[in-house]
Amino acid sequence: MQDVTDASFWALVQERGGADVYWTEYTRVHACSRPAREIVESILNNQTGRPVVVQMMGNDPEALVRTARSLEALPVAAIELNLGCPAPVVYRKCAGGGLLRDPERLDKILGRLRDTVSLPLSLKTRLGFDSETHFDTLLAIYARHRPDLVVVHARTVLQGYRLPVRYDLIRRAVERLPCPVLANGHIQEPAQALSILAQTGARGCMIGRAAIRNPWIFQQIRRVQAGLPVYYPTGREVLRYIEQLWTAYATPGHPERLQTQRVKLFMNFLGEGLGPQAEQFLYFIRRVQTRLEFFDVCRRFLEHDEPLHLVPTAGKAVEAAPSAPSAQRFCENVLTGSPAP
């Protein structure tokens, strides 16, 4: 997630149980580019003790190869080519999800990367650009180049983040690819995550926006896997998380209005999980301009000891399946090169 998944955010998630693997923001690659300084700094400052996968995004085969070689010198577990970014400014340049419209160029890029990259090679893909009609063609291209991991965001590029999510097509990817597959897309809570794993046969789940709203979600999934009750944070614990976000992202010396705007980015996600109070919280938080106003609103809604599920009202999930593959096994098998179970 651009502007979110850096070392500071990883540390906040890790403090609350932590993911098994962390992904960087994407580094933009073109003929004259170098790996983004802030992404390199995040990799070097990773304090989580967990592996990091670094993302590249571009459409120039030789520039991507050059960048991959440079990134291999860093302490990363794998190198990923992003084929899923739905931002128009990206796909109009035939990068991110835009590459799904050009299978010949995609085929060439993957061939060059597969011949060059010595670390595990990961792909993050969507189902297609404007429809899933050619998903089988994409799977055939991926299978031919034998990536070490494929993350499937089960929506099209033009669909953005709208429903529905085609989890059934993740199962198709699992069945047709010679590597582990991760399920991605609208995963909101632990019961749903385990159900999706059981439905799809995926090796694990990639969780993005829900982790901004609920950084406890990875711990919660592990507890459900272990047959334990789900731990839900109290309002005060969520308030503490927001305080830490402010410390991490509200850059001292910048105008207070801009500092507030930076942290409000996170509140747009978190506020959706406040149940009946979500609409009111978002109404007020989007209008604040100063630190004082910001925390006045946060305390008004969160200074309490009631547990919060942090799931959008419209995003209630399906029941949990009785069992699912272990995310820990995913780490051990995919990112250390051990055989899959």
pLDDT in tens, 111-129: 999 999 999 999 999 999 9
| 322 compared with 183, residue with greater pLDDT | 183
The alpha carbon of residue 107 and the mean position of all alpha carbons in its chain are separated, in whole angstroms, by 24
Q: How far apart are CA 171 and CA 211, in angstroms?
A: 23
Q: What is the pLDDT of residues 189-213, one digit of tens each?
A: 999 999 999 999 999 999 999 999 9
Q: Helices marked H in 201-290 — which ranges?
A: 209-213, 217-225, 235-249, 256-270, 278-285
User: Does residue 322 or residue 54 have the better pLDDT?
Assistant: 54
- The yes-or-no verdict on residue 334 having pLDDT over 90 is no
Tokens at 88, concatenated:
């128009």
> Which residue, 66, 69, 139, 154, is CA-closest to 106?
139
Of the chain, the percentage scoring pLDDT greater than 70 comes to 92
Identify the pLDDT of residue 252. Answer: 84
Q: Please state the domain extents for the chain.
A: 7-229+320-334, 235-302
Structure-model confidence comparison of residues 1 and 16, the more confident one: 16
Q: In one letter, which amino acid is 68?
A: A
Average pLDDT over residues 160-177: 97
- Look at residue 237 and tell me whether its pLDDT is greater than 70: yes
Average pLDDT of the chain, as a whole number: 92
Q: If you average pLDDT over residues 299-326, what whole number do you get?
A: 69
Q: How many Cβ atoms are within 10 Å of 206's Cβ, its own excluded? A: 19
The model's confidence at residue 279, banded by pLDDT at 50, 70 and 90, is very high
* Mean pLDDT calculated for residue range 163-174: 97
Tell me what pLDDT residue 314 has: 64
Task: Specify the amino acid at residue 103.
Answer: P
| Residue 324 clears pLDDT 80, i.e. is over it | no
Residue 41 has pLDDT above 90, yes or no: yes
Report CA-CA distances (Å) from 150 to 131, 181, 321.
19, 5, 23
Which CATH code is given to the segment(s) 7-229+320-334? 3.20.20.70
Q: Kindly name the residue from 85, 179, 205, 331 that is annotated as catalytic.
A: 85
- Residues 124-152 have a mean pLDDT of 98
User: Is 94 a residue of the active site?
Assistant: no
Task: Give one DSSP letter per residue of 278-324, joined into a string.
Answer: HHHHHHHHTT--SHHHHHHHHHHHH-S--B-----GGGPPPPPPS--
Largest Cα–Cα separation, the chain = 56
- Phi-psi category of 76—alpha, beta or left, where left has phi over 0 and alpha has psi -120 to 50? beta
For helices 217-225 and 327-334, angle between their N-to-C axes, nearest 10 degrees: 100
Give pLDDT, residue 3: 74
pTM: 0.90
